[in-house]
Structures are given as structure tokens and as C-alpha cells.
Amino acid sequence: MNILLVSIGGVAGAIARYLLGLILMKRFPTPPFPIAMLLVNLLGSFGLGTFHGAYYGIIPLGAYEEPVFLLIAIGFFGAFTTFSTFSTEAILLLQKKRWKALIAYVGLSIVGSILVFVLGFTLFK
């Protein structure tokens, strides 16, 4: 049952990421750095922080058997956000020697994701 919950959430999260990515890439066809994945990851971090704040009021450490956690936190937000694509895009900027874009993308992705997670958690706790 746990695998089914993670799978259902994962399918929904991956589809949402794909569709939002398409919309953002059409809106920003030639961005200075990978804006679509940055916005997806920021939105996902905010959403996960909001979920933890609103549902738990804490950041749960041992919720790996709870159905809602499996479906939303691990399944949906795990598939919606993507560190692997972030890493790929960062390496592409590095290979192209686009130093300013690389620093902006990595900095905004990492620091921004943490900040918006905290913001979502705090606002909805």
C-alpha cells in the first residue's frame, strides 16, 4: 500500500512538474539561466513547507508509514521537485563557462528553496 501511495503522488507530481515546466519555458523562451526548473523547485519547496506546517505543525522525522506523508511529501513533492535536473542544468552552465548565470542559478536554487520552505512552513503552521 505504501508503494502505491508514493506512486500515485509521484505520478501526479511528475506530471505537474512537466506541465508547469512547459508553460514556463514558453513564457521564458531564452532565460538568462534555467528559470523553469528554478521556479518549479522553489514552488515545490514552498509547497512542502506549507504541507509540513499546515498538516503537522512540525517537520516530522518518522512519518514514513503515514499515508498522507507518503502520498504528498514523498510522492508528489519528491517527483515535482528535481535535484537531478538542477544538477544537470548547473553543469551545463559550468561547461559553457556562464559563471554569473551558474552562481545565480545555484545560489537562488539552494538558498531560495530553503527560504521558501521556511516561509511556507511558518505561514501555515
**Binding site listing for Na(+):** 78, 81
- CB-count exposure of residue 55 (10 Å: 0-12, 13-18, 19+): middle
Annotated binding site: 78, 81
Closest of 87, 2, 97 to residue 41, by C-alpha: 87
Residue with cell 536554487: 109
> What SS3 state is found at 64?
coil
